[in-house]
Amino acid sequence: MQYDEQQDCYVCAAGRKLLFHHESTQRNRQGYFLTTAYYRCDSCVGCPCREACCKAKSGTPKELRVKTDLVRLSDDSRKNIKTERGITLRMNRSIQVEGAFGVLKSNHKFKRFLTRGRANISTELYLLCMGYNLNKLCAKCNTGRLKTHLFCLQKE
């Protein structure tokens, strides 16, 4: 579905408009208020895309529910990810996270937790992470890279 900002409506695959019907605000379990906008098509009778578009078997027209807060936050997130800083952070995250688990599994020969219970497993994981971070700190001290936190993007 494509959104038309000027007319505040969505356009379906058959080219029919789903016009704004109403808006509701509800409180979720965590206490946040979520706003939902409802868009409806006037009539889906005789539409060639009805079976693919509508799940309702009766003659009810297509209704689309849009979480407006979620759409806004998704757009903000997408904009942040596409900035130069966002690209740098994503690149570094992919390097660091995967590498840490690989080192723990191959170099430290970590296959599974040796203890039982949530508290004991948490303690074991904290000890593994401390060992990994100490090795990483020693390696940075030895190579003189102590104050470099992020790798820079290579310009072509």
Q: Quick check: is 30 in a domain?
A: yes
Which residues on neighbouring strands pair with residue 65, listed in sequence order? Answer: 38
* Number of separate domains in the chain: 2
Q: Is 77 a member of any domain?
A: no
The conformational region for residue 31 under phi > 0 = left, psi -120 to 50 = alpha, else beta, is left
Would you say residue 154 lies in a domain? no
Sites in the chain below the pLDDT cut of 70? 94-98, 148-151, 156
> Which residue's structure tokens are 């078997």?
57
Same domain? For 128 and 99 the reply is yes
pLDDT for the residue 115: 92
Question: Please, which residues have CB within 8 angstroms of residue 60's CB and are 6 or more apart in sequence?
Answer: 54
The contacts of residue 21 (CB under 8 Å, 6+ apart) are 38, 39, 40, 63
**Does residue 75 belong to any structural domain of this protein?**
no
Task: Answer yes or no: do 89 and 64 share one domain.
Answer: no
Domain that holds residue 139: 83-143
103 within some domain: yes
For residue 48, the model assigns a pLDDT of 80
In a domain, 26, yes or no: yes
131 token code pair: 């060992």
Whether residue 88 is found in the same domain as residue 57: no
Give 93's DSSP letter. H
For residues 6 and 64, membership in a common domain is answered with yes
Residue 61 and residue 14 share a domain: yes
94 and 38 in one domain?
A: no
Task: Give residue-wise pLDDT tens across range 24-53.
Answer: 999 989 898 999 999 998 887 778 887 777
Phi/psi region, residue 125 (left: phi>0; alpha: psi -120 to 50; beta: rest), is: alpha
Q: State the pLDDT at residue 149.
A: 67
CA 77 vs CA 65, 74, 81, 99, 108: distances in Å: 21, 5, 6, 25, 36
Question: Does some domain include residue 64?
Answer: yes
pLDDT of residue 95: 64
